[in-house]
Each structure stands twice: as C-alpha cells, then as structure tokens.
Structure 1
Amino acid sequence: MNPLDLPCAWGAPPVRGRVRVSPEDFVVREWLGFAADGDGDHWLLTVRKRGANTHWVAKQLGKLAQIHPRDVGFAGLKDRDAVTEQAFTIPVRSAMTGDWAGVSGDGFEVVAAERHRRKLKRGALRGNDFEIVVRDLAGDRAALDGRCKLIAAQGVPNYFGPQRFGNDGANLTRARQWFSGERELHDRFERGFALSAARSAIFNAVAAERVRNGTWNQLQAGDVANLDGSNSVFKVDALDEVLRDRCDRMDIHPTGPLWGRGELVSQGEVASLERRVADAEGSLASGLATTDLDQERRSLRMRLAEFAWALEGPDLRLRFRLSRGVFATAVLHEILEDAFSQVHPESDE
C-alpha cells in the first residue's frame, strides 16, 4: 500500500492552491513549554533558519563552538523548506566565549541566547506553532469555512506526512529491502530512518482503515486510549458514557500501533483489525518484530489549538499549534487537494 494514499476524514478537500511558494509561506516556531534557567553549563540558543535543515545548522554551530556535533542539543527536527525558529544548546565550555546573540551563518541566525542547566534532548518540547500561506487559492471558498470550523471542533487524522518516508519513499524502500534480506543497512542514521518509515507506514494504514470505517475519532471496546497532549495511554476494556463524553470533548483519543516486538496492547476487534492491516504490509511487521523497538501507541486523532484561518485576496492564511511529533501536512491534507505532493523531499518536519 502507498503510505500516502490516505482517505480524508471530512470528505474531498474543498480547495486547491500552492504551498511553500517561498520559505516565508511556511513559518514554524518551536514551543518548548519552558523558559531558560538563567544559569548553568549550557547556552540555550533561539535560532531562526531559512532553507536549512536542523542537522546542518547543528553542525555549523558545532564548528563555530569547536565542539563535536553530538554535543549540540536540539529538541526536534524542523523543515528545511521553511522559515523556522527552534532551540539549540551549546556547552559554555566551548571555544565561543562571547555572547551568541547575533551570531549567524549561511541560512541561520541566533536571535537570543540565555544560560541553561541542561543539554536539550530529542523530544524535549511541547509542540510547534505554524503559520502557513496557501497561494493562488481556487475551488469552493464557501465550503472552506465550514471545513475549517469542522477541523477546529473535531480535529483531523494524525497521519504521518511524506517527510517520514523520504524522497520518493526511499526510507520505506530501504526498510522493505532490509527486512527481506535484499540489502544490509550499516549506517545507524539510515537504519533509524528506515525503522521510522516502516512503523509510520503501518500506522498510516491502520489509521486509514479506521477513517474508512468511521472509528478514527470514536473509542471502541478493546481500544487503547491516549490522554490528549501526553504520552499516557490506558486500555478500554468496556465503553461507558463517561469515556464517550471524554472522547467527544477530545480529552482522550483512540490510538493505533507503532509496530515492534511484543504483543499488541489492544484487544478484540481492534487488535484483529490492526493485525490484519499489518499482515498486509508484508515484511514490515515481521521485520519490526525482530528489532529492539517495543510495541507503542500513537493517537489516531490530532487536535489543533489556536486554529485560525483568513482569506487574503487570492490566498489563504492558516495559523495553529500542534503537539510534538505530529505533521502540519496532515492538516493541509483535509483542506487542500494534493497537499502531500507539495512537500519538499528534504523537509524534516
């Protein structure tokens, strides 16, 4: 199955248009959810970048500080084909002894620097704020307002976007070849990308099936529920009105599997659906079961915070906040025709 051949939850997108005509049309601001400590052995840098990916900026900061890139901390990957603001940490012991604020390089600038006690670790953020401009909008503008209101009230499927699968699906192709014995993957980054792509493909397939049967936003007996905005999950052995009401209010969400070793946590018909879909993905599920990745869960539904939209002449401007690990392109998929096809292959959202 094509991991991006995914049904929309709210019907065919009402409009079409062009995304990322310039990097300034896709602005991402990292939301850490905490402030700098004000003292400590690290600099917490706020870096604005344009046309540069996160790993490349980390390497450039490492060169300036004369430290190994692994000593540069950051919480998450951000798009290359965008204007983004995100945090990095640099040890104070580095060769850079002056104020980092104003330091710049090709495609990036340090806009703020404060002392901090800890190196930033991957995942140490709450989410991201997005401001996206869709150019040359065409289609049913009247239906657009209704679609956006629906999304604001009830969310969208939490699909993984094209960035996860690489240019022309190369990450997923490597995973299939690796698991089938056609090739070896010795580079740890290449292996990591392949594993993430394999898990994402199975998740997308399960999410798509739940969209088709109308249960992506409804708890079922045997589901595993996720507490909104957290990694906390719990089994749903039986449904009651309290759980249904919490799901309707988007306080909790049904989840799908991030495949790995061990047994599924879901039960009953939910688990049967997940196994059936995973089996249809061929070597991906069996290959993941032999790795050191345990079975995990991911919410099937994405809730948008602070969602706003406005027509500006021929263009559409969207603003929203998403929790970490979710994809803005999944929001565009419900609004815009061919949204996935417009993602830059080197984006790393």
Structure 2
Amino acid sequence: MTDPARLPAADALTFRWSSLARLGERPAEEGTGGELRRELADFQVEELPLYLPAGEGEHLMIHLRKEGHTTGHLLRELARQLRVKDRDIGSAGQKDRHAVTTQWVSVPAAAEKRLPHFALPGVEVLEAGRHTGKLGLGHLRGNRFRVEVRGAPGTAEQAAARLRELEAQGIPNYFGPQRFGLGGINAAEGVRVLRGESNLSDPRLRRFLVSALQSSVFNAYLSRRLERGLFAALLPGDRAKKHSSGGEFWVDSPAESERAARGEVSALGNLFGKKSQPLREEGGLLEQEALAALDLTPADFSTPLAGLRGDTRLTRIYFLEAPQLSPTPDGYTVQFALPRGSFATAVLRELMGGEVDTLPLPGEKEA
C-alpha cells in the first residue's frame, strides 16, 4: 500500500522545462527566444488521419476547423445540435483551444440531415462522408503544426540549424506543459489522488491527474537518458521499439546500441500502472533513479486509487515529414509533423530555449 508520508512534495513535480535536459547538452536558456500565440492563427494544428471516409456505412465522419474552443466543448455542441448521445460521438484526440485546429469527428449517420444546420462561432465544417465505423481515440497518424515565432528577429538561421539537428538525431519525446495544466501542477494533484486526499469523485478526472504523474516520471527518466548520453543508445534491461514496424523487445545485447545509433530503434519509457513491467538490469537502475528522485515506486501506480493499467512511450521520435522553416521580419515560421501523442512544444523548446509555452497559475500574469 502507498505510504502517504513518502510521496513527493508538490514542488518536485511542478513542470519546468529548465529541470529537463536538452538534446546535445544545451543550456536551458540557449535558443532563439521569442513569443508564441500572440494571435490564435500563430499556432495551427492539422490532424493527419489514419484513414478517410469509406463513402458508405452507419457513421458520418466530419472534418472541422475550430478556433477558441476545446474539443470537449465542440463535441458537446455537436451532440446537442445534431441530437445524438455523447457516447455515440467519436474523435481521435483532443485539440488545443488556443490555436486554429482541424480534426475529424464521427457521429451516427442518421444525424447527416441535421449537419447543414449546425452552427457554432469559430467552427467550420470542411467536409463530411460516410464510414463503416466510429472514429476511435488514437485513430490518427499524427499532427502537422505550423507555428509563428514572434519577437525573435534575425534568428531564423539559428533555428534552422537546430531544426536540422533534430531531424538527424531525433526529438526528445517529452510531455509538454499542456499535459500538466495551469501552473504545471497536475502531477502534484495526482499525488493527492494516490494519497487518498482528493475530494474529486469523477473517475475520469482522477485518472487524468494520475496520468500527469505518470508523465512526470517519464520526463524525469528521459531527462536522465539525455544527461548520461544515452538518448541514442540502449542498455541491457531496456525495452525498445523498432521505428519501422513498431515491434517491441527487451534489450539483452550491447550490440543493439548500434541499431539505436542508426535511428532504427529507440528506448521506451514506462507510463506506470498496474500492468507495467519495470525495466531490468542497467536500464532498470536508471528508471529506479528517476522514480527515487520523485520519491515514488512502481507500486504506487498499481493501487486501486491510481486506476491505470500502464503503457510505454518512445523516448525518441522523428518528424513524419521534412520540417520547413522560413524567416519573417519579426522571427520565423516553422512547420513540422509529429506522431500522435507527441508535443509540438518538445520541438519548440529545442529551438527557442527557456520556459516555452508554460501556463501560469490562475491569477498570475502570463508572460
């Protein structure tokens, strides 16, 4: 059973980019600097679907563009106006409120006749088509981002050089600040759930907060790999994944590091839950160190209070297509595509340095 006295203090779990190592041992502040999201259109996200409408079936896939709305609010409005049940609406994932985003959703085909009457300020229906199944969570290939960095004149060449490094060496697959909420405190709230101190009754919200704690442990583990020069290497006892096929395997030979150096395979990190398998041997020692720094153990995530099965996540990812960068009078525009579940801010942090896109606590002034 979890011992509340030895779970971590909130400060140790507050998200800060400065506490996480960078590719190539760069200092935390080194980069172009600049400002994000001065306008909504400065941050654009295009969902890359895993499949397109088949043209027939009992479901209707709808392609939407939105700005200023959470995906949750959009789905609730669709349910209300199209007169369908919330549980019958499908989406591949959440999209940022503070951006211009496109994504696919699905509804029962019977709602098709009401779609022309759907109206919500800031939302546009781009196209729709019949499909054989409901769109499921994670049913996307990735996301394409187009980001305007302002307040950084004359830095485009520096940013382009760093982008080439990321393209060649891979991107540290950190969870970004959006994962940790206002003030970066979601992981600390997850500790309160594990301690049995939370008054929250919604099981989905409780799982969400504990999953932020999972993410904090993963970030701490990945940071240690970067600090030790193990980003493009593998240790005995690591678990790894092939980038070409997605196959996973336990590492039992030092020779596997040669494949990692070529970018063919990368280490996985645990998102701890009741079904997780801790890493072994040398890989396990590094994982234990990351957990101990936060005063946690795998057992803390296997209790009924945690409510999570567990998963793994790649420590290194690659762009899905060649990134592009162009100078502007006030900075630069960068476009890149990432696999599903990866954060644009993990790339932007490597370009800009500093505390990129972190959200202040309520009442604090946003920089």
Rounded Cα–Cα distance in structure 2 between residues aligned with 1:342 and 1:280: 23
Structure ranking higher in strand proportion: 1
- SS of residue in 1 equivalent to 2:151: strand
- Say whether 1:303 aligns with 2:318: yes
Rounded Cα–Cα distance in structure 2 between residues aligned with 1:230 and 1:162: 30
- Shift of residue 266 of structure 1? 2.3
How many correspondences in the alignment?
A: 342
Q: Which residue of 2 aligns with 1:260?
A: 273
- Say whether 1:150 aligns with 2:147: no
Q: Which residue of 2 aligns with 1:7?
A: 21
Rounded Cα–Cα distance in structure 1 between residues aligned with 2:358 and 2:194: 29
CA contact (8 A) 1:175 1:284 kept: no
Q: Which residue of 2 aligns with 1:312?
A: 328
More displaced, 222-231 or 21-30? Answer: 222-231
Q: Which residue of 1 aligns with 2:52?
A: 35
Q: How does 1:1-349 map to 2 (within 5 A)?
A: 1=12, 2-4=14-16, 5-10=19-24, 11-12=26-27, 13-94=30-111, 96-98=112-114, 100=115, 103-138=118-153, 142-228=157-243, 232-240=247-255, 243-262=256-275, 264-283=277-296, 285-290=298-303, 291-305=306-320, 306-342=322-358
- SS of residue in 2 equivalent to 1:52: coil
- SS of residue in 2 equivalent to 1:104: coil
Aligned-pair identity in percent equals 31
Q: List per-residue Cα deviations over 1:270-321 (Å, max 9, x = no partner).
A: 1011122113323574431214534432111121132111112222111111
Q: Which residue of 1 aligns with 2:365?
A: none
- Shift of residue 154 of structure 1? 1.0
Rounded Cα–Cα distance in structure 1 between residues aligned with 2:214 and 2:325: 32
Rounded Cα–Cα distance in structure 1 between residues aligned with 2:355 and 2:184: 16
- Shift of residue 109 of structure 1? 1.3
1:102–1:93 CA distance, 2 compared to 1 (3 A): closer
TM-score (norm 2): 0.86
| RMSD of Structure 2 on Structure 1 (CA) | 2.3
CA contact (8 A) 1:229 1:323 kept: no
CA contact (8 A) 1:102 1:111 kept: no
CA contact (8 A) 1:102 1:109 kept: no
The runs of 5 or more residues in structure 2 that have no matched partner are 1-11, 363-367
More displaced, 167-176 or 256-265? Answer: 256-265
Q: List per-residue Cα deviations over 1:48-103 (Å, max 9, x = no partner).
A: 00011111100011111112222111001111100000000010123x515x3684
Rounded Cα–Cα distance in structure 2 between residues aligned with 1:32 and 1:214: 35
- Shift of residue 248 of structure 1? 2.8
CA contact (8 A) 1:101 1:111 kept: no
- Shift of residue 184 of structure 1? 3.8
1:170–1:106 CA distance, 2 compared to 1 (3 A): farther
1:342–1:168 CA distance, 2 compared to 1 (3 A): closer
CA contact (8 A) 2:180 2:186 kept: yes
CA contact (8 A) 1:202 1:277 kept: yes
Rounded Cα–Cα distance in structure 2 between residues aligned with 1:245 and 1:101: 56
AA at the equivalent of 1:74:
S
AA at the equivalent of 1:7:
A
Rounded Cα–Cα distance in structure 2 between residues aligned with 1:129 and 1:316: 17
- Shift of residue 215 of structure 1? 0.5
1:331–1:179 CA distance, 2 compared to 1 (3 A): same
AA at the equivalent of 2:64:
V
- SS of residue in 2 equivalent to 1:57: helix
The runs of 5 or more residues in structure 1 that have no matched partner are none
Rounded Cα–Cα distance in structure 2 between residues aligned with 1:345 and 1:153: 36
Rounded Cα–Cα distance in structure 2 between residues aligned with 1:105 and 1:187: 28
CA contact (8 A) 1:17 1:337 kept: no
1:308–1:245 CA distance, 2 compared to 1 (3 A): farther
Rounded Cα–Cα distance in structure 1 between residues aligned with 2:21 and 2:296: 24
